[in-house]
Structure 1
Amino acid sequence: MNKLEQIALTKIKGVGPKTSRTLLAYCGSVEQIFKTSKKQLCAIPGIGEITANQIKSKAYLAEAERELNFIEKHNIKLLWIEDADFPKRLKNCEDSPLVLYYKGKASLNPERVISIVGTRNATAYGKKICNQLIEDLKTLNVQVVSGLAYGIDIQAHKASLKNDLSTVAVLAHGLDRIYPTSHREIAEKMLENGGLLTEYPSETNPDKTNFPARNRIIAGLSDVVVVVEAASRGGALITAEIANSYNRDVCSFPGGIDQEYSAGCNYLIKTNRAHLIRNANDLCYLMNWSTEQKKPASKQLSLLPPELSKDETVVYTYLAENEHATIDEIALFCDWPQSKLAIILLELEMNNIILSSPGKVYKLI
């Protein structure tokens, strides 16, 4: 597929991720979007004359060509939403970017991903529990995602590097710069066992409005979002709210009732927006993560219920081979939208074929 056209689609004024998905659904491919007539474009729901004129003007092509030259010169990988190496967890989110720019060596589809977020004004308490959490997760070989910001973000990246865990930073600007600049050295080290990821092209400044949008990617990449420290308002709470909307698990460390940077964590727990955790063991219990090796394929495969549909058989077979799995792990394997998977899981549960446990974990009965 033509990378120039993929980039060009993101350069059209008034065309965001959701509108782009609509265009793809009606036109069939990114190439066909640019070949479709103005009249046909105007007939697509949500695509009016102004947007159709923007698409047909092709004024954005020169900008797309500059971006293509930039990523090729700096060995930046362009990830299109239909590519096999595009993050599958994020792909299932309805407002996922269609294009990501990535520099690094780590896969964005590892077995386990934890996003760690928190205040930029991390206290000694917050840094301590962040370090301890990551140290205790080392044997699970999780990938740690955060935002390279001051405070808890950079602490999570540093602790991951120290414990040889893959760590990915999601940026609110282009890959032609690092913000804050004081974190450049850490960012460069992350390229060896992690990476830098953004939806923004080069020459994009770290504007204030970019950070909430960036947070949806941090949430969408993960199996679970952990809020270490947070005030009553801020980006960490936004990320937690988005994660809940994506049907991701959210966990939070409690803090003193008189501590400013524990107020947000305590609020998330109080309002059932996050599970209370005290350590890595609590997190692993919630997520049903274990360091034990997977057992051979279950003999239950030979007892496959005859009344299962084709889709139900896919889920049944996966659970028989993996003993138990979270809804995100199953969605990742099946490559289905969670809305479709949720219906199938409910049907299997109602028929007493599978059992659901805390943390949206499923296993065969």
Structure 2
Amino acid sequence: MNKAELFYILALLRVEGVGDIVAKKLINHCGSAESVFASKASQLKGIDGVGEVLVRNLKNKVVFENAELELDFLEKNNITVFYYQNENYPERLKHCVDGPVLIFASGAVNFENRKMLSIVGTRQITSYGAEFCKKLIEDLAIFNPVIVSGFAYGVDIVAHQAALENDLQTIGVLAHGLNQIYPKSHKRYVAKIEQNGGFITEFWSTSNPDKENFVRRNRIVAGMSEATIVIESAEKGGSLITANMANDYNRDVFAVPGRISDKYSQGCNDLIKTQRANVLTSAADLVYSLNWELNQTTTKAVQKQLFVSLDYEEQKIYDYLQKSGKQLLDVVALECDFPIFKISSILLNMELKGVIRPLPGKLFEAI
């Protein structure tokens, strides 16, 4: 996208009454943002959602002044711009009718990795939630996913940090322009995240972290990822809005269950109870549901952990495979007296722990 094209897109987005949905309709109908401004009123009024007031607003020259100022900011600060019609735009967001026309990015952001997970939750994260989040990301690291979150207090920043500790790309989705960081106390994380991912936003440099922006931001978090994971949430909260948006986009949603008496498990338990989220108790649950597989292109090797801890069911299977050698999944289920749906999850968890390996033909062997 050249400078002139970006200028007219920015100007169009500054027209009063033009949001992402209407902007896409105008661009798709006219062929380009520049053509929208050059089109006759009679042509534009034939577009669904476009009336006389909006057509009149398109004649406001102030939008070009605003576009010029923002374009100058983008150039001076080396901001990358992703346009919804370009190939490098997040693939899943292309299928969201209200996905942003433009995404602004800083750092080393790219959206090529198909394994993209959004992790959200309360800003008042408990030790239980923090430990679960860290362990989940550590166990998923062998699949090299991109970890997406909102760079807020609590679950968000724990997820970003855990991603960095496991050398995973992580993307912070901001509810304001790239000229600032909110919360300010998180400035110390910016450099590391930009080295191994970065920050994205739909908001201009003139936008502050206003309350309504966070709700708008949540649709990007939900829409760009393969699945959304809610670690902890009270009965009401922004993470539940994100989960509902993910459901609306037909994305997978997972929630970590907790005790019914725990305040920050109420939201997750309710998501599960109302069948708006799958139960998430380990990385194996997610990998099994999303049908992720380890293969030769996986960038991180599975290594057997010394003194790994196995529960009763895992130990029973491990002892059997040690004694019998390579065995089919169905045979393991039969001999160890586990239903197929259950043993698949157990075997995957053992694979993540590095104590067994899968072989062609649904065979497994102990390491």
Q: Same fold (TM over 0.5)?
A: yes
Distance in 2 separating the partners of 1:239 and 1:199: 16
Tell me the matched-pair count: 296
Question: Does the Cα contact within 8 Å between 2:255 and 2:272 map onto a contact in 1?
Answer: yes
Distance in 1 separating the partners of 2:164 and 2:11: 36
Asked if residue 279 in structure 1 is aligned to residue 282 in structure 2, the reply is yes
Corresponding position of 2:16: 13
Alignment partner for residue 157 of structure 1, among 160, 166, 183?
160
Corresponding position of 2:345: none
Distance in 2 separating the partners of 1:78 and 1:58: 23
Distance in 1 separating the partners of 2:68 and 2:148: 30
Corresponding position of 2:107: 104
Alpha-carbon shift at residue 100 of structure 1 (Å) = 0.8
Of the two, which has the highest radius of gyration?
2
Alignment partner for residue 125 of structure 1, among 125, 128, 131?
128
Deviation track 1:63-103 (CA, whole Å, cap 9, x = no partner) reads: 11010000100000111111121111111101001011011
Question: Does the Cα contact within 8 Å between 2:114 and 2:226 map onto a contact in 1?
Answer: no
Asked if residue 205 in structure 1 is aligned to residue 208 in structure 2, the reply is yes
Distance in 2 separating the partners of 1:294 and 1:77: 28
For normalisation by structure 2, the TM-score amounts to 0.79
Distance in 2 separating the partners of 1:95 and 1:64: 21
Deviation track 1:34-91 (CA, whole Å, cap 9, x = no partner) reads: 1101232223221111110111223210111010000100000111111121111111
Alpha-carbon shift at residue 294 of structure 1 (Å) = 6.7
Alignment partner for residue 251 of structure 2, among 248, 252, 259?
248
Identity of aligned pairs, percent?
A: 46
Corresponding position of 1:3: 6
Distance in 2 separating the partners of 1:185 and 1:133: 24
For structure 1, which runs of at least 5 residues remain unmatched after alignment? 296-365
Corresponding position of 1:291: 294
Question: Does the Cα contact within 8 Å between 1:105 and 1:194 map onto a contact in 2?
Answer: yes
SS at match of 2:103: strand
Deviation track 1:104-125 (CA, whole Å, cap 9, x = no partner) reads: 2131231200000000100000
For structure 2, which runs of at least 5 residues remain unmatched after alignment? 299-367
Asked if residue 114 in structure 1 is aligned to residue 89 in structure 2, the reply is no
Alignment partner for residue 47 of structure 1, among 47, 50, 71?
50
Alpha-carbon shift at residue 131 of structure 1 (Å) = 0.4
Corresponding position of 2:91: 88
Corresponding position of 2:241: 238
Asked if residue 73 in structure 1 is aligned to residue 76 in structure 2, the reply is yes
Corresponding position of 2:28: 25
Alignment partner for residue 59 of structure 2, among 49, 52, 56?
56
Distance in 2 separating the partners of 1:131 and 1:243: 23
Distance in 2 separating the partners of 1:196 and 1:292: 30
For normalisation by structure 1, the TM-score amounts to 0.79
Question: Does the Cα contact within 8 Å between 1:144 and 1:156 map onto a contact in 2?
Answer: yes
Deviation track 1:143-194 (CA, whole Å, cap 9, x = no partner) reads: 0000000000000001111111000000000000000001111122100110
Tell me the amino acid that sits aligned with residue 68 of structure 1.
Answer: L
Q: Which 4+ runs in 1 deviate beyond 3 A?
A: none
Distance in 1 separating the partners of 2:103 and 2:45: 28
Distance in 1 separating the partners of 2:112 and 2:203: 20
